[in-house]
Structure 1
């Protein structure tokens, strides 16, 4: 079937949208198969699939379906997060992708509230449903539309009032997924059950079995069940958050996009910033002179080492590590990966100049660089708050206190590592650094307490809190809190205690980053 051109009165550029009529969908998965065949999607990943939820109790039970795919948002978080504009919005409103410039950073996956993007295991680039844009450009309907036996999927131009899509959206009750995210999706569901639209409304299958398959966890490992102890995704009755009994009967597993390397990168970046800032404070307060090795060598070398490790972790996390240069060659400036990359390079440049000046004996250069180095060190520590903020999918990370919390962690870990150097190069400053380590660590623990003592803003955040503190990542969270608590005794127990204050933020960050990604989105 071919698409009819819009009426002459319609704008020249269409605004493509899609409607899925779940009242007639029979869950045959023909759309999934057609999409895989048309777009050469490998086994194990899907651009579109059909989720099913069993609703009600015998004898009043039925199976509800939801066709899950990219929502073609007007305000698409994935395009804002993409550092190279590999994810982009076409003039006709289709959110498309360019694999040739994808660096595999997975920022688009973290940003998508609908869990619609994945890394292709064969070409290592991000992809998703793109409306079969090559067929649209040829005047054809997307493959899923052509094969649907009940015509439950149809596309059209929202700017054309005569199109079936426009008439359905404007005249009939339709729903979108996660309207609270304000992405303005152009994927509309007619007659969809709320238990299918809300990924938290249906209980996860205890026992690890879906209708036709064993269910893996979202980290890819198989186990006896998806419901963790305490069952944050549903009570003992299996009702989840729905007022009617609802149990997920078929879904596809999705991996967390950011693994331990991102957790470690937030810590190494903070340490690299904290070392420089503590050494700067010692010079500014007159406790050490600009000629002291603590400022001449420890600040640029220690800070530079941890920033270099940060950059290595960032590059290692890319699916296309040898394309990292594209962040700077063709930057998309809305992305905080780009902005953060510029901040890290600028900060590294200051440290390098400081180091060279120290070699040449021109310590006055390092002193003057303080005015540039201090704000860059602070920026390199806190920019991750906005990077995580672009991940609209993850409510745990939408915390207005995250930036100051990261800075406090930087001061705690940075001062902890400076203490042993101060013993050798500046004994008169040891007490100051020990007390600063304890104070910054106390502030870190206060931020942790305030975050989890305050009411959670959403059910998504509540479950993420659970997974972080009592679920899969509870051991890392507990280690982070206990290590930091021991670090509070640094002024009384001495230098060796600083090791705990140094490692505490690392364990906490791992729990925070991984716990934030543990909640199902689709």
Structure 2
């Protein structure tokens, strides 16, 4: 069986963009998106300066993260090694974009589905070479079968020193470069003009996000520092959108409330049963917590569907799941959680709620935990984003759910006229959850020197860059320090009604602020 691959000889490339033009023509690629593009990086100062070219595109990885994360098999790997896409199966979830470390995937503005380079598979199937290979005037693009020892690509890979992009991602990329400058392939050593100016135009920022250095106060900007060391400035690049934005931030928040409200009620009920907390369990909370969870879970589903570029296809994720994807697994977790919540509520509607609730609660609890934490495993599949690759993320998401559940239970208890019974358990829960959040955030993210430069840049964007005000004032000060101080200073055993309400709303606000910073800053680092 063939195993197709590229060799790109950057010693020959003249930066003419013929490959880009041929690709657009052959595959009818719309304006504003590209399957292949040529990046320009300049080094040195005039007259001792040089321009380096880099042809960038899908690497057709042997271990493709876009295929693993796709929930509907819209991204798939052919037996000949080509990573192909099926626009008729795509729901536009953009998970493949979040997973690709090479920024090679885009959402087609006409079909609203994911697309990318596919080696011109329709040409290969009839014995023709990809359009870009045919049109290259310098024969800098060499295409062939990696399994054929007589193929030119096999001979070049065996004879010449080759490079691949981001080998540390363990994707086994099959796009091999000869003679490419490190500054072209490695975004960690590239700098950008802070004005966004390129050779012919300015880069759009409203969807991509701010440049790395912008709004980071320091004696010397990061671009200036990197330029001093590497002398590498990006002179031309194409625009790449951030795939996940405010809908994902809100989804994390509402999902935390949904799972947390049930977990808080289960924790309280279990504590009463084991004698750690005096009873009895408030009857309204036995059905009220599942009701709150069900409502916020419905909102979570609406947000997830709203974020799809093809929302009318949302049911594909249930009808044709790809079981390696945590997006598909998570959808079934949410579905199972919603069914059990509905069963508890239905039991109360038909008058036998207290008879079945104890064992239904224990059955539902694992699904509530899984609903809270499965996103950590989804983010782990998003290999492009180093900030999301944290082994502590499942614990952090569980902490956020417990905090959200305790906070949302206070106004619910006040509405039911039974605040004291709930608040006595909620206050220490909130204190413990906030302390754990500060340890994981400040200790695990802010004060830690990260081995990954991309993760360090993302953290800097969150704590020093354009998201710093939301992070420090929204999350740390108003969402953590103020509630913690109010509870500790007043004695969290019995503060006033007004303090309980302030703590609850600030806790929820701080959680939303952190979710937004985490999602947006995590995607702020350029990949190509």
TM range (shorter): over 0.9
Please report the TM-score for the alignment, with normalisation by the length of structure 2: 0.93
Give the match for residue 7 of structure 1: none
Structure-2 change in CA distance of 1:332 and 1:252 (3 Å): same
Give the match for residue 505 of structure 2: 499
In 2, the alpha carbon distance for the partners of 1:280 and 1:183 equals 41
In 2, the alpha carbon distance for the partners of 1:495 and 1:206 equals 44
Give the match for residue 422 of structure 2: 429
The answer to whether the aligner puts 1:453 opposite 2:447 as a matched pair is: yes
In 2, the alpha carbon distance for the partners of 1:509 and 1:237 equals 28
Give the match for residue 262 of structure 1: 248
The answer to whether the aligner puts 1:138 opposite 2:144 as a matched pair is: no
Of 461, 465, 472, which aligns to 2:459? 465
Give the CA deviation at 1:126: 0.1
In 1, the alpha carbon distance for the partners of 2:11 and 2:172 equals 23
Structure-2 change in CA distance of 1:64 and 1:262 (3 Å): same
The answer to whether the aligner puts 1:517 opposite 2:507 as a matched pair is: no
Of 17, 21, 26, which aligns to 1:33? 21
Give the CA deviation at 1:433: 1.3
In 1, the alpha carbon distance for the partners of 2:420 and 2:69 equals 46
2:95–2:382: 8 Å Cα contact kept in structure 1? yes
In 2, the alpha carbon distance for the partners of 1:237 and 1:72 equals 31
Aligned runs of 1:84-483 on 2, under 5 Å?
A: 84-217=72-205, 219-220=207-208, 227-230=213-216, 235=221, 238=224, 240=226, 243-286=229-272, 287-289=278-280, 292-296=283-287, 298-362=288-352, 363-423=354-414, 424-425=417-418, 427-451=420-444, 452-478=446-472, 479-482=474-477, 483=479
The answer to whether the aligner puts 1:74 opposite 2:70 as a matched pair is: no
Please report the TM-score for the alignment, with normalisation by the length of structure 1: 0.94
Structure-2 change in CA distance of 1:300 and 1:190 (3 Å): same
1:27–1:50: 8 Å Cα contact kept in structure 2? yes
Give the CA deviation at 1:361: 2.3
Give the CA deviation at 1:459: 0.6
Structure-2 change in CA distance of 1:226 and 1:253 (3 Å): farther
Give the CA deviation at 1:441: 1.7
In 1, the alpha carbon distance for the partners of 2:411 and 2:46 equals 68
Give the CA deviation at 1:237: 6.9
In 2, the alpha carbon distance for the partners of 1:428 and 1:114 equals 53
Long gaps (5+) in structure 1: 1-12
Of 65, 71, 80, which aligns to 2:53? 65
In 2, the alpha carbon distance for the partners of 1:284 and 1:516 equals 37
Structure-2 change in CA distance of 1:426 and 1:282 (3 Å): farther
1:351-382 Cα offsets, whole Å, 9 max, x none, are 10000111122122121112211111010000
1:186-220 Cα offsets, whole Å, 9 max, x none, are 10111000000001212111322111111222725
2:166–2:186: 8 Å Cα contact kept in structure 1? yes
Matched pairs, number: 506
1:267-289 Cα offsets, whole Å, 9 max, x none, are 11011011111111222222554
1:39-73 Cα offsets, whole Å, 9 max, x none, are 00000000000000001222321100000100000
Counterpart of 2:193 in 1: which secondary structure? Answer: coil
1:84–1:330: 8 Å Cα contact kept in structure 2? yes
Counterpart of 2:190 in 1: which secondary structure? Answer: coil
In 2, the alpha carbon distance for the partners of 1:371 and 1:327 equals 28
1:486–1:501: 8 Å Cα contact kept in structure 2? no
CA RMSD in angstroms, aligned pairs only = 1.8
1:203–1:239: 8 Å Cα contact kept in structure 2? no
Long gaps (5+) in structure 2: 273-277
